[in-house]
């Protein structure tokens, strides 16, 4: 069936022409006045543009947040008295809480390296690390993570980072924790 165009009457506006005087295709375009091909092209282009802009914005925001959290979380805690130095003779260990009451920490008095302290939270899945005197190592029992007592570096097992180190000072015979320093982020 071929569509037949009905010419408008002279002097009559095309838009005023009654539907009954129009071809089937013309009636269809009046009911749905959209240029489908062009609209589709524009919509796709716009969608692509918005997707690229949104991805870029998300990427930039993630970078900013990561940068801020890196700077903000490098050091935690305030000065806090830990224990009298004389109470921890060489070769012994003292467990304490730092930088908050919920954070497990370990102070070691190494015979050849003096006082060192670390977070007692394993950097793998946060199990409690303890001093294994027989092995002379800091050990996480959950998955056999092993840390160097001199540096807190990982010696074995799955932990991805060294233990956070706790900076110490000594004044008037007392050991103070100054800050917990996160490493290898």
Residues that bind ligand FES (CB under 6 A): 122, 124-125, 127, 140, 142-143, 145, 157-159
- The count of residues in the chain is 185
Residue 133: which residues within 8 A CB-CB, separation 6 or more?
A: 91, 93
Residue 122 or 177 having the CB closest to ligand FES? 122
Min. distance of Cβ 151 from ligand FES in angstroms? Answer: 17
Please compute, for residue 27, the number of CA atoms within 13 A of its CA located in the half-sphere on the CB side: 10
Residue 57 or 125 having the CB closest to ligand FES? 125
Min. distance of Cβ 144 from ligand FES in angstroms? Answer: 6
Please compute, for residue 49, the number of CA atoms within 13 A of its CA located in the half-sphere on the CB side: 6
Min. distance of Cβ 141 from ligand FES in angstroms? Answer: 8
Residue 83 or 142 having the CB closest to ligand FES? 142
Residue 138 or 177 having the CB closest to ligand FES? 138
Min. distance of Cβ 124 from ligand FES in angstroms? Answer: 3
Residue 77 or 159 having the CB closest to ligand FES? 159
The C-alpha atoms of residue 177 and residue 104 are separated, in whole angstroms, by: 13
The C-alpha atoms of residue 27 and residue 33 are separated, in whole angstroms, by: 10
Closest CA to 118 of 180, 175, 183: 180
Min. distance of Cβ 181 from ligand FES in angstroms? Answer: 20
């Amino acid at each position: 069936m071929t569509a037949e165009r009905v010419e408008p009457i002279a002097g009559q506006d095309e838009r005023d022409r009654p539907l009954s005087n129009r071809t089937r295709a013309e009636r269809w375009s009046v009911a749905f006045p959209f240029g489908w091909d062009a609209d589709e092209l524009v919509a796709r282009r716009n969608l692509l543009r918005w997707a690229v802009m949104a991805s870029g914005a998300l990427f930039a925001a993630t970078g900013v947040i990561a940068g801020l959290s890196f700077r903000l979380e490098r050091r935690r805690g305030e000065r806090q008295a830990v224990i009298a130095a004389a109470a921890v003779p060489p070769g012994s260990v003292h467990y304490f809480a730092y930088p908050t009451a919920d954070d497990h920490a370990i102070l070691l008095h190494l015979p050849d390296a003096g006082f060192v302290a670390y977070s007692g939270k394993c950097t793998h899945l946060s199990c409690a690390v303890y001093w294994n005197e027989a092995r002379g190592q800091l050990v996480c029992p959950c998955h056999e993570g092993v840390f160097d007592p001199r540096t807190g570096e990982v010696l074995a097992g799955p932990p991805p980072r060294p233990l956070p180190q706790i900076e110490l000072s000594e004044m008037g015979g007392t050991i103070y924790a100054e800050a917990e320093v996160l490493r290898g982020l």
